Structure 1
Amino acid sequence: MRVLLPLVVLLPVLGAALTLVLGSHPVAQRWVSVVVLSGVTATAAALLVSAASDGPQSVVLGAWPAGVGISLVVDRLSGLMLLTSSIVTLSVMLYSVGQGSTGDGERTPVSIYHPTFLTLSAGVSIAFLAGDLFNLYVGFEVLLVSSYVLLTLGGTAARVRAGMTYVVVSIVSSLLFLTGIGVVYAATGTVSMADLPGRLSGLPLAVAVGLQLVLLLAFGLKAAAFPLSGWLPDSYPTASAPVAAVFAGLLTKVGVYAIFRTQTVLFGGVSTPEVTTALVVVAVATMLVGILGAIAQNDLKRLLSFTLVSHIGYMLFGVALGSTAALGAAVFYAVHHILVQTALFLVVGLVERAAGTTSLRRLGGLGGAAPGIALLFLLPALNLAGIPPFSGFVGKLALLRAGADDGSTSAWVLIVAGVITSLLTLYAISRAWAATFWSGRATRQDPEVSPEAAAAHAHRVPPAMVAAAAGVVVVVTSLTLVAGPLLALADGAAADTLDVPGYTSTVGGLDIATADGGAENGSAENGAKTP
């Protein structure tokens, strides 16, 4: 299956080129985009199955030796994240096609939307599969450059302002990351994840921790962890519905993935109690400050943006504890959160299309006019709040149990913060649902519009948009039915990340048994494959 690894990057890159050539043929662009993203999703599923059954696998592009060429690596963690992101990008593309590509009608240059969106997909794939820090940086830059274009499509004043903020923050985070790569290379002579763990462990502890903090700062800004999260609620709500959905689902999770990978593979052997305490503080603050910000909002998009920030804290919860159970629960929660946030932003796009606004002060009574939209919002909202038996409850329960098993003071602080955040999320989401769908006010922007006119307007939501959003809601809800196997797979993904010798030997193209002078069956026990 290693031969499939480059396809998840090449397919969207070639698709982007083709859709750019077909700029004057929007129907053809849509078909190309849907077919390409379907192919990426199928390939990602095959890679995950292969990684789960045969262990981590890698391929080095361009016939360069391992450690010099571009290494693409898939294990259960990267495979699971890749498949989840592919499902999201395909679903959002179908939603975009259903509403006329971007939802902005004549204001948006559709010829630019499709190639940019496919380029974003390629950047996400590069980031998840990169076997060295520099190509992880390349993946970030590809998806960020694409996101600049997508965020400002339509050219409205609000989007341009938000885009400027987003660009400045992204440039700062990229400079931090590039600086981190430079100092890591200066200290170790390599940026390959095959070589870095051993070389970092040979550095003075203060130097290694300094390198760790630089990368944590860069990735924390990309992941919107507190106190580096202020940019997100001002950026995402201004974008069109499909763009906001894919941003909310994916972009911050790429930063979280980078934290998962570097904290376990690179710095697992050199981290200090002080760094762990700092991670605990950041996780707690991210959870609590984010959800308090959500409670204060009177706009659905901004409210969801703050909950997005808040629930990044649950993923940092698992990273801070660092055990296999905690990391597995965090991986499960990341998959759940990617899908549930995408679903909520897509449904809010339906609300905006039906009512003409997302302001809670102007919404009301939409449940009577569009009960289907009300149900589509309610299911992922309850999931986000962690109501049993939804997957959000399963993920939070797994995190809390991992914290209880740890038993330290820091773990109990995380548990208390997690429970409080979950309760406040339920309050914020319930308030938003009631104001949008349950209130007796007629849903309208203009107070003179009658309830009948509002209902008629709601029926103008294209059925294809509703179908695409409903598909994501069904996937999110179905996670409950496969929560046991998915949690087991997430635990396996955590085990892969903590198996540093297995991962680094795969990246380096070296059989573990050969490297150690042992028997050939040693490689099978560690799940490593020789490219």
Structure 2
Amino acid sequence: MSWLVTVPVLVPLATAAATTLLQRHAAAQRVVSHLGAWALLAGALTLLAQVNSGAPARMVFGDWGEPFGIVFAVDRLSAALVLVTAVMAVACLTFQASDADPGPAHPLQLPLVHGLLAGVGGAFATADLFNLYVWFEVMLICAVGLLALGGRTDQLDGTFKYFTLNLVGTLLLLLAVGMVYAVSGHLNYGALAQALPQAPAGPVALALAGLLLALLIKAGAFPLFAWLPAAYPTLPAPLLALFAGLLTKVGAYAVLRTLADWAPRASAAWLAEALGWIAAATMLVGVLGAAYHWDMRRILAFHIVSQIGYILLAVALASPAGDAAALFYTLHHIVVKANLFLIAAMVWRLAGGYDLRAVGGLWRARPWLGVLFLVPALSLVGIPPLSGFWSKLWVLQEALAQGRLVWTAVALLVSVLTLYSMMKIWMEAFWKPHPQPGWQPPRDARLGPAWAATLMLALITLAIGLWPQALLDYALAAAGTLGGGAR
């Protein structure tokens, strides 16, 4: 039993409450928000150190014992994701202090941000299927609030699409949770791992199929991903980076936890086969959508979809190596994707827009910004020695080892098309001259916090790429504990 398992939820909730009370004191609200983010980071580091040196941290709430009480359990898998969540919170809140598309200030924005972080942390920490549903609800409520805060027509339109499609996923998730309980009598992950193999195979398969369908909607997988590119680009840059880095990864995490940790092997086998083909379609459709668009936010939003496909492909391989590759890829992608959105906002501030046809000239005016962009952009493509190279290498190695030639070919094709999208941004925003004669970047741009946040994320990407073995060893150890180490 360890109180540290409450850190991913209690720290953001306490910060959300404090910032709510400080709505009329904007400066104090910002200070408390930053303190809360750094406290979450400190707690996440401590939690990671604890679970990496011993058994998973667990706590049962109330007077009910397992498997009937509410249980938080953080193992190596969830501890790593809690840590990267805290890193994203610090980076995005730091970036918000710049004038690179921070969006209009609103007294409810920071409380909703920390409420969202609490939902993400709760989903990673819970060991109970119904409580996973509850934390998805918390994320949905806070996300809808943040999407609608600006009140612009495009924001309200995006909010409606986000809410409608995610509500379908939420209702399906609740129905699937009820079906799982009906066939097993349990919702605790550990109890499900024991009870489901003894239950009738047909009802178990139906319940798990419904559960995975709901989680794939949350992850932004094919074919129900339209809410993502419709809603995300309407957000201010720091919120967009936070959404892009975290929200779909919670759905992908839940898919991994379900198939690798407690689903019966007989059901998990055919579900993984179906998941692999869904992953291939997700990769391909996402990257084609990105290739079509000229707005940097929409290009990068569609690349969230395509990169989720890689993570789901790793999960579909249904092996310890595949599970480790899924964790490695998730951690890499959270950092890279958030950083790309933040750098796009810096381009917006300096060059005057997100539409690539209306900007240019930044390589000559701000060459270091061009270098900074290349780090996450080439990592997303998978160029060595950056983190994306190792992430894709280990996914493709395992796919080839299992003889999944079609999945491998699709993944390689998607990497080539990803290179096209990243080079389109490079050539249009940095290399070509600005379309306005005599254009110069604004001298009054306040980008110090933006540089700090993006440089921090770029250094993490470089560190993972240059020293990948430590993270790979950690990911393999995390994968080895899933399903009791039986896979």
2:319 alignment counterpart: 323
Q: CA deviation at 1:377?
A: 1.3
CA 1:458–1:500 in structure 2 vs 1: closer, same or farther (change >3 Å)?
Answer: farther
- Offset from partner CA, 1:357-384 (integer Å, 9 cap, x none): 1001111112222223222211100110
Distance 1:267 1:51 in 2: 23
Give the one of 124, 128, 132 matched to 1:132. Answer: 128
d(CA) in 1 for partners of 2:486 and 2:321? 20
In the alignment, what sits opposite 2:395?
399
Residue 162, structure 1, aligned to residue 147, structure 2 = no
Quickly say closer, same or farther: Cα 1:273–1:494, change in 2 above 3 A: closer
Greater CA deviation, 116-125 or 198-207? 198-207
Summarize the alignment of residues 14-413 of structure 1 with structure 2, pairs less than 5 Å apart. 14-99=14-99, 103-105=102-104, 108-109=105-106, 111-271=107-267, 273-407=269-403, 411-413=404-406
What secondary structure, in the 3-state scheme, does the structure 2 residue paired with 1:54 have? coil
- TM-aligned CA deviation for residue 12 of structure 1: 1.2
Q: Distance in 1 between matches of 2:298 and 2:146?
A: 18
Once the two structures are superposed, residues 245-278 of structure 1 have per-residue CA deviations (whole angstroms, 9 ceiling, x without a partner) of 0010000000000000011122142326543331
Q: 2:446 and 2:245 mapped to 1: Cα distance?
A: 23
Distance 2:135 2:294 in 1: 35
Q: Report the counterpart of residue 412 of structure 2 in structure 1.
A: 419
Partner-residue secondary structure (3-state), 2:73: strand
Is 1:433 aligned to residue 419 of structure 2?
no
Q: Indicate whether 1:495 and 2:446 are aligned.
A: no
What is the SS of the residue equivalent to 1:420? Answer: helix
CA shift for structure 1 position 489: 0.6
| AA in 1 matched with 2:406 | V
Find the aligned partners of 1:402 and 1:359 in 2 and give their Cα distance. 38
Partner Cα separation in structure 2 for residue 140 and residue 435 of structure 1:
38
Q: CA separation in 1, counterparts of 2:367 and 2:181?
A: 57
Post-superposition offset of 1:501: 7.8
What code does the residue aligned with 1:404 have? L
Paired residues of 1:344 and 1:381 also in contact (CA < 8 A): yes
Q: Aligned residue for 1:528? A: none
Bigger relative contact order, structure 1 or 2, given CA contacts below 8 A and separation 6+? 1
Task: Map Cα deviations across residues 179-206 of structure 1 (whole Å, 9 max, x no partner).
Answer: 0111111222221112112221112222
Structure 2 distance, partners of 1:417, 1:189, is 40
Structure 1 CA distance, aligned partners of 2:363 and 2:248?
Answer: 31
Q: In structure 1, what is the equivalent of residue 439 of structure 2?
A: 451
Q: Is the 8 A contact 1:300 1:432 kept in 2?
A: yes
Taking the aligned partners of 2:444 and 2:460, their CA distance within structure 1 comes to: 25
**Residues 99-147 of structure 1, C-alpha deviation per residue, up to 9 Å, x if partnerless?**
49x7124xx41x1111111111111110001110011111111111111
Given that residues 353 and 458 in structure 1 are in contact (C-alpha distance below 8 angstroms), is that contact kept between their aligned partners in structure 2? no
CA contact (8 A) 2:98 2:446 kept: no
SS at match of 1:354: helix
Aligned equivalents of 1:462 and 1:171: distance in 2?
37
The 2-side partners of 1:382 and 1:471 are apart by 17
Report how far residue 355 of structure 1 moved.
2.2
Distance in structure 2 (CA, Å) of the matches to 1:273 and 1:133: 21
Displacement of 1:150 in angstroms is 1.2
CA RMSD of aligned residues (A): 1.7
Q: Report the TM-score when normalising by structure 1.
A: 0.89
Distance 2:265 2:275 in 1: 16
Per mean C-alpha deviation after superposition, the further-off stretch among 276-285 and 368-377 is 368-377
In the alignment, is the contact (CA less than 8 A) between 2:7 and 2:44 conserved in 1?
A: no
Q: What SS does the corresponding residue of 1:59 show, helix, strand or coil?
A: strand
How far apart are 1:403 and its partner, in Å?
1.5
**Is residue 208–residue 270 contact of structure 1 (8 Å, CA) maintained in 2?**
no
Question: Runs of at least 4 residues of structure 1 off by over 3 A?
Answer: none
Residues 370 and 458 of structure 1 are in contact (CA less than 8 Å); yes or no, is this contact kept in structure 2?
Answer: no
Amino acid at match of 1:42: A
Q: Percent identical across equivalent pairs?
A: 38
Counterpart AA for 1:314: Y
Q: Answer yes or no: is the 8 Å Cα contact 1:354–1:461 preserved in 2.
A: no
Question: 1:287·1:313 contact (CA, 8 Å) conserved in 2?
Answer: yes
Give the whole-Å Cα distance in 1 for the aligned partners of 2:24 and 2:353.
32
What CA distance in whole angstroms lies between the structure 2 residues aligned with 1:378 and 1:250? 22
- Code of the residue aligned with 1:16 in structure 2: it is A
Over alpha carbons, which structure has the higher Rg?
1
Long gaps (5+) in structure 1:
503-531
- Are 1:482 and 2:475 an aligned pair? no
Partner of 2:71, secondary structure, is strand
Could you tell me how far apart the structure 1 residues matched to 2:341 and 2:461 are? 13
Q: How far off its partner does 1:85 sit?
A: 1.1
TM-score (norm 2): 0.96
Judge conservation of contact 2:352–2:359 (CA < 8 Å) in 1. no
Work out whether residues 264 and 497 of structure 1, in 8 Å CA contact, stay in contact via their aligned partners in 2: yes
In the alignment, the residues of structure 1 paired with residue 272 and residue 122 of structure 2 have an alpha-carbon distance, to the nearest angstrom, of 29
Is residue 470 of structure 1 aligned with residue 455 of structure 2?
A: yes
Asked whether the 8 Å contact 2:4–2:57 carries over to 1, the reply is no
Cα deviations by residue, 1:215-239 (Å, 9 ceiling, x for unpaired)? 1100000001111112211111111
Partner Cα separation in structure 2 for residue 23 and residue 40 of structure 1? 21
Deviation of 1:7 after TM superposition, in Å, equals: 2.3
Aligned residues: 487
**CA deviation after TM superposition for structure 1 residue 459, in Å:** 5.2
Structure-1 residue corresponding to 2:5: 5
Partner Cα distance (2:392, 2:154) in 1: 36
Q: Is the 8 A contact 2:385 2:465 kept in 1?
A: yes
Q: CA deviation at 1:310?
A: 0.3
